[in-house]
């Protein structure tokens, strides 16, 4: 097998930030199928005119540990190398894998390659290049393109998707896999990512991406949204040779979701439907209409509902709302304008829930 090395540069004039908080979304020092031995080689380049002091942190997914090593110095206009970085810089033994963070007050460029150093069981090397990504480039909406799956484990491609939360708050990620023409293939179920959390999922995993397993397609793409900025990439692997390539997420601006209209009818002495459920992040237009006389609406000010002139057959009360995570809960409301003998029992509920 031809030895493959990926050596790419990501330099843009005057594009380096004044300080750096750079993450390699995934690294490895572990075995694999076919006697594979994976290791990550890292280069840390200081493009500035003064030395940079860098603090490295590993979020080891094999043990659950956060490993912070002593700071090291990169001289001005020089590059340091850390082959098999998890062993040489962090002192880890196999198996070890996870994101690595490099923090400094100077400018910094980080690059890595994840290599199988025992390809074909004969010591050949194959692998993929993976850039360091500044935390400021983390996304709340992104796309991963050129993904692929195969119904056969011997031919075609398979894809692993990685999400990393570099922040201090938990992140909820929603993802959808689509065919090239936009047809929805799967809606993902991705567990919440804690601070500095990491997850790697196969597109063929039915518990995460139902409906993808058994599909052969080399023209898939994935869109995702998150309530906190995350880093994402995909590794697409040829089943026959084991050769991988990496796809880093690009920023995406998905079309806004359609507004759901909900109509609630007020009549002596009830609201129908009596319980309305709203989901965080989805836009709604809630319309209260009267079927008989004048009714009121009280108890929903925390959700932005206001009907100061009451609800009459001629005058409905309309509220546009996109619930937030801070509004999750149950809200009781009641008629505030006397409407007859059963007025005191005329009430309802709005429930705001997470997706």
In angstroms, how far is CA 282 from the centroid of its own chain?
18
pLDDT tens figures, 129-168? 999 999 999 999 999 999 999 999 999 999 999 999 999 9
pLDDT tens figures, 214-273? 999 999 999 999 999 999 999 999 988 888 899 999 999 878 889 999 999 999 999 999
Computed over its alpha carbons, how large is the radius of gyration of the chain? 27
pLDDT band at 291 (very low <50, low <70, confident <90, very high): very high
Exposure of 50 in the CB half-sphere (CA atoms within 13 A): 6
* pLDDT at site 254: 78
Classify 319 as helix, strand or coil.
strand
* pLDDT at site 93: 96
Q: Measure the CA–CA gap between 225 and 353, rounded to whole angstroms.
A: 18
Cis, bond preceding 269 (omega within 30 deg of 0): yes
* pLDDT at site 18: 55
Look at residues 25, 95, 17 and name the one whose alpha carbon lies nearest to residue 235.
Answer: 25
N residues, the chain: 355
Q: Measure the CA–CA gap between 71 and 261, rounded to whole angstroms.
A: 56
* pLDDT at site 31: 86
Residue reference for tokens 């997850």:
199
pLDDT band at 4 (very low <50, low <70, confident <90, very high): very low
pLDDT band at 10 (very low <50, low <70, confident <90, very high): very low
Taking every pair of C-alpha atoms in the chain, what is the biggest distance, in angstroms? Answer: 88
Mean pLDDT of the chain: 91
**In this structure, what are the phi and psi dihedrals at residue 23, rounded to the nearest 5 degrees?**
-120, 130
- Residues in contact with 223: Cβ distance below 8 Å, sequence separation at least 6, in sequence order: 141, 142, 143, 175, 176, 178, 252, 254
Element (H, E) at 201: strand 198-202
Q: Which tokens is 137 given?
A: 């480039």
Weakest mean pLDDT among 32-41, 81-90, 193-202: 32-41
Q: Measure the CA–CA gap between 212 and 284, rounded to whole angstroms.
A: 31
* pLDDT at site 240: 86
- Residues in contact with 92: Cβ distance below 8 Å, sequence separation at least 6, in sequence order: 29, 58, 60, 67, 86
pLDDT at 5 over 50: no
Q: pTM here? A: 0.72
Q: Measure the CA–CA gap between 139 and 137, rounded to whole angstroms.
A: 6
Q: Which tokens is 44 given?
A: 């840390």
Structural domains in the chain, sorted by start = 19-135 (2.60.290.11), 138-255 (2.60.290.11), 260-353 (2.60.40.420)
When pLDDT is averaged across residues 49-60 and rounded to a whole number, the result is 97
When pLDDT is averaged across residues 44-63 and rounded to a whole number, the result is 96
Could you tell me what percent of the chain has a pLDDT over 90?
Answer: 83
pLDDT at 338 over 80: yes
* pLDDT at site 2: 37
pLDDT band at 7 (very low <50, low <70, confident <90, very high): very low
């Amino acid at each position: 097998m031809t030895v493959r090395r990926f050596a790419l540069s990501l330099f843009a004039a005057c594009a380096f930030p004044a300080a750096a908080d750079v993450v390699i979304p995934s690294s490895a020092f572990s075995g694999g199928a076919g006697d594979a031995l994976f290791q990550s080689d890292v280069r840390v380049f200081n493009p500035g005119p003064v030395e940079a002091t860098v603090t490295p942190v590993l979020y080891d997914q094999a043990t659950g540990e956060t490993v912070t090593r002593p700071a090291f110095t990169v001289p001005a206009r020089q590059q340091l190398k850390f082959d098999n970085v998890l062993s040489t810089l962090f002192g880890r033994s196999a198996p070890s894998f996870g994101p690595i963070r490099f923090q400094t007050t100077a400018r910094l460029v980080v690059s890595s390659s994840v290599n199988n150093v025992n390809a074909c069981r004969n010591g050949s090397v194959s692998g993929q290049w993976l850039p360091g990504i500044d935390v400021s480039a983390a996304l709340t909406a992104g796309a991963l393109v050129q993904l692929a799956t195969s119904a056969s484990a011997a031919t075609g491609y398979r894809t692993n998707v990685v999400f990393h939360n570099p922040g201090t708050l938990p992140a909820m990620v929603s993802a959808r896999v689509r065919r090239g023409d936009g047809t929805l293939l799967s809606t993902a179920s991705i567990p919440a990512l804690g601070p500095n959390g990491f997850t790697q999922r196969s597109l063929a995993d039915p518990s995460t991406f139902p409906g993808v397993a058994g599909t052969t397609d080399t023209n898939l793409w994935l869109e995702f949204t998150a309530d906190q900025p995350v880093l994402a990439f995909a590794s697409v692997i040829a089943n026959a040779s084991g050769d991988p390539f990496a796809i880093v997420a690009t920023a995406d601006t998905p079309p806004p979701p359609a507004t759901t209209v909900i109509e609630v009818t007020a009549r002596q002495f009830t609201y129908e439907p009596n319980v309305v459920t709203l989901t965080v992040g989805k836009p709604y237009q809630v319309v209260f209409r009267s079927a008989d006389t004048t009714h009121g609406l009280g108890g929903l000010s925390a959700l932005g509902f206001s009907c100061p002139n009451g609800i009459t057959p001629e005058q409905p009360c309309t509220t546009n709302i996109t619930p937030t995570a801070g509004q999750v809960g149950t809200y009781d409301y009641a008629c505030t304008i006397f409407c007859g003998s059963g007025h005191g029992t005329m009430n309802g509920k709005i429930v705001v829930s997470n997706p």
